[in-house]
Amino acid sequence: ILNVEQSPQSLHVQEGDSTNFTCSFPSSNFYALHWYRWETAKSPEALFVMTLNGDEKKKGRISATLNTKEGYSYLYIKGSQPEDSATYLCALIKAAGNKLTFGGGTRVLVKP
Amino acid sequence: NAGVMQNPRHLVRRRGQEARLRCSPMKGHSHVYWYRQLPEEGLKFMVYLQKENIIDESGMPKERFSAEFPKEGPSILRIQQVVRGDSAAYFCASSPTLNQPQHFGDGTRLSIL
């Protein structure tokens, strides 16, 4: 069983504050890590696909880093806004693998 | 460019009936994936298909569940003799290749009476 862990499970953030959370995964046979944003009553939306150790990706106020040697990725939200409220999912593909294995998600609630 | 289309959005079945869930991938996408979200749980991989081929079905229950992606037409997830435990949201996603982000449909909410 492949364990992809996300922490914390949920997070309350004050509007304007910055925040970050973690995705941990087994470091062996790494191929790629995906991040998705999932708003309530909508479908998951792709944020980033990360493949290289040390990768940093940015999309607006959201950015992510990747450490494949120690098996973790951080997602950062700078200056959180209420529209950032969503569940953020990471998902792993192993080398020679065919599928995404999702973590349980970090649910972010930004309070005005 | 239309996104991933799933239908129906909601499906109600009685125990013992069959459920058919449809997914039309985005134009140009030949890789299709099905996921299930049980109540209070996360997304779990079920099956990965390319046109006319099942590539990985390691997440599919051994019995009653089947999937296909024919040369023409949508991908179908079929659940025979449904039971209460099949109640879940079923999501389909597609991508042009395995390495690229997956685009998700809005899901089918299956309820078993």
B→A contacts (Cβ < 8 Å), by residue, are: 4, 33, 35, 42-45, 48, 55-56, 58-59, 91, 93, 98-107
Closest Cβ opposite residue A44 in set B59, B98, B104: B104
pLDDT at A2: 73
pLDDT at A90: 96
What confidence tier does B20 reach under pLDDT thresholds 50, 70, 90? very high
Tokens of A35: 């991040």
Closest Cβ opposite residue B48 in set A34, A45, A98: A98
Q: Give the lowest-confidence range in A39-43, B86-90, B109-113.
A: A39-43
pLDDT at B39: 85
Angstroms from A41 CA to nearest CA on chain B: 8
pLDDT at B98: 78
- A66-70 long-range contacts (CB < 8 A, ≥24 apart) are A66/A33, A68/A27, A68/A30, A69/A27, A70/A27
Mean pLDDT (10-residue bins), chain A, 112 residues? 90 97 94 94 92 94 97 97 96 86 95 92
Beta-bridge partner residues of B35: B45, B91
Whether pLDDT at B51 is above 90: no
Is residue B20 within 8 A of residue B34, CB to CB? The reply is: no
Whether pLDDT at B47 is above 80: yes
Closest CA to B110 of B69, B68, B73, B64: B64
Whether pLDDT at B2 is above 80: no
pLDDT at B19: 98
pLDDT at B1: 55
pLDDT at A1: 66
- Residue B9 sits at φ, ψ, to 5 deg, of -75, -35
Angstroms from A10 CA to nearest CA on chain B: 13
**What's the average model confidence in pLDDT over B10-37?**
96
